[in-house]
Amino acid sequence: MKRQNILCVDDEPRILNALSEMVTEFGYDCEVAQDGVEALEKFKKGSFAIVITDLEMPRMNGMDLLRELSKEYPDVDTIAITGHNNKYQYTDLIEVGASDFITKPFHMNELQAKLNRIIRERALKMELTRLSMKDGLTNMNNRRSFDIRLSEEVGRALRQQYSLFLVLCDIDRFKDYNDQYGHQEGDAVLIAIGEVVAESTRKDVDVGYRYGGDEFALIVPQANRKQCKEIANRLCKHYERRNFAPTSLSVGIAKLEDIGKDVTDSVNNLIRQADDALYKCKRNGGNGVVFYGE
């Protein structure tokens, strides 16, 4: 897990300096803000995993800050600093999104223990999220991951007006292969697709997914038509070298064309067009690449 960035918020310089020194001594990166307004400004310039905030501050107090963070940055964990005679109850803090609280005066061991607990829980949550996005057989990204990423990529492409292609692949005669060699060998074919995608695409740019059954998807951003077709041809060629006869790959490609339209409609249109291209390829006998509209 990468080094955690923590934001400490307090209007008392002495306490703020003490918090910063403690957090840094614990081994975390730390930035500071003197009230809620400044804290939210910090979020516009960078990201934080955890916020430690006092409750009584000028301009924007800690309760309002917790509410804003819970609404705008739901993945951020927060620790509220309360006084002995504070007017806020524990239930009040939880209702506005606090992960934990600490009471003044506090010892650094107590703060460290609370931070360590939150970070362990964040690591576990991240691992569970990662596993929920993976296909159990192929270890490729799964359909859920595809739906999330495609929506993000389409939204980004529409805003920044760069090209985006969706590639859908289907294994031709996969049922025949399963019937002839058995499902265990069929699983080996599906696993090999992940390796084929990795060796056929641009590392850390194009992302492959198990779309469902024997169908796979590839999101190709910031490429031109020629580059995308070269990637698709490599997929077919590298798959053919695996010698899984009588199977082959059918590939359908669609380009995001509807710049400026609603993201959801654009996503649905892109999938439909890639799907139409894929099934045109299969109707033509498979083992090839078809662009939508050709």
Instruction: Output the average pLDDT for the chain.
Output: 90
Is residue 37 within 8 Å of residue 60, measured between CB atoms? yes
Model pTM? 0.66
pLDDT in tens, 97-136: 888 888 888 888 999 999 999 999 988 888 887 778 888 8
**Section 230-236 average pLDDT:** 94
Residues 257 and 209 occupy one common structural domain: yes
Per-residue confidence (pLDDT) for residue 176, from 0 to 100? 93
Closest CA to 252 of 162, 165, 158, 180: 165
In a domain? residue 30: yes
Residues 45 and 163 occupy one common structural domain: no
Residues 177 and 103 occupy one common structural domain: no
Residues with Cβ within 8 Å of 61's Cβ and at least 6 positions away in sequence, in order, are 35, 36, 55
CATH code of the domain covering residue 110:
3.40.50.2300
C-alpha–C-alpha distance, residues 232 and 251, integer Å: 7
**Section 6-25 average pLDDT:** 93
**Section 267-284 average pLDDT:** 95
In a domain? residue 137: no
Dihedral Cα 80, 81, 86, 92, nearest 10 deg: 10
C-alpha–C-alpha distance, residues 152 and 133, integer Å: 15
C-alpha–C-alpha distance, residues 282 and 170, integer Å: 9
pLDDT in tens, 53-93: 998 888 898 889 999 998 889 889 999 988 755 677 777 78
Handedness of CA 110, 56, 75, 5 (dihedral sign): negative
Cα angle, residue 150 at apex, residues 155 and 294 outer, rounded to 5°: 95
Residues 280 and 195 occupy one common structural domain: yes
211 pLDDT tier (thresholds 50, 70, 90): very high
CA distance between the termini of the chain: 46
The residues facing 154 across adjacent strands are none
Give the DSSP H or E segment for 131: helix 108-132
In a domain? residue 138: no
Residues 170 and 210 occupy one common structural domain: yes
Residues 169 and 285 occupy one common structural domain: yes
pLDDT at position 173 over 80: yes
Residue percentage of the chain with pLDDT more than 70: 97
C-alpha–C-alpha distance, residues 208 and 216, integer Å: 7
Per-residue confidence (pLDDT) for residue 207, from 0 to 100? 84
pLDDT at position 259 over 80: no
Per-residue confidence (pLDDT) for residue 287, from 0 to 100? 93
pLDDT in tens, 31-53: 999 999 999 999 988 889 999 99
Domain stops at, among 93, 110, 132: 132
- Distances, alpha carbon 181 to alpha carbons 137, 138, 186, 188, 224, in Å: 18, 19, 7, 11, 39
Domain stops at, among 111, 132, 153: 132
Per-residue confidence (pLDDT) for residue 3, from 0 to 100? 73
Residues 110 and 232 occupy one common structural domain: no
Residues 63 and 180 occupy one common structural domain: no
pLDDT at position 284 over 80: yes
Residues 219 and 286 occupy one common structural domain: yes
Per-residue confidence (pLDDT) for residue 2, from 0 to 100? 61
Residue 142's SS3 state is coil
Domain residues for the domain of 235 are: 143-291
How many domains would you assign to the chain?
2
In a domain? residue 73: yes
